[in-house]
Amino acid sequence: MTARAGHGRRTLTRLLAALGVAGGVALLARPQAVVDAAAPAFPRDRLWLVRLLGARLIAQHGVVLAAPLPRLVRLGSAVELLHAASMVPFVASPRYGRAARISGALAAASASAALAVAPRSDGR
C-alpha cells in the first residue's frame, strides 16, 4: 500500500470516528429528542440507557479519532458487533423493538464501514 493510500484510510477512519463521536454526543446530550425522532415507543424511564450508549460511543470513537490504528478499529468493531447482537432479543418488542432494530443496524453498519476503510497497518 502506498503512503498516500494509508493516509486516505486514516482520514476516512477519522471521519467515521468523528461521526461516531457526534452521534454519541447527540445521545448523551439530547436523548429524549433522539428517541422521539427515532423510536417514540421507547420508555422515558430508560433514557439512561440512551445516555450510556452515547457515553460509550464518545469514548470508543474518540480513541479511534485520536489514534486510527487497525487494532483499535478492530476492537471498536468487535464492541459494535457485540452491541448489535445484544439488540437481537429485543427486535420484536413493542416497546424496545424499533430502537433495537435501529441501534443494532447502525452498530453493525458502523463496524462494517470501519473495518472496510481502516488502515492496513499500525505504521503511521
Domain count across the chain = 1
In a domain, 27, yes or no: yes
CA nearest to 103, candidates 81, 79, 87: 87
Domain that holds residue 49: 3-117
Residue 122 placed within a domain: no
- Count of CA atoms in the C-beta half-sphere (13 A) of 117: 18
1 has pLDDT over 90:
no
Our measurement of the distance from residue 121's CA atom to the centroid of its chain's CA atoms, rounded to an integer in Å, reads: 22
Residue-wise pLDDT tens digits, 25-83? 999 999 999 999 999 999 999 999 999 999 999 999 999 999 999 999 999 999 999 99
For residue 116, pLDDT beyond 50? yes
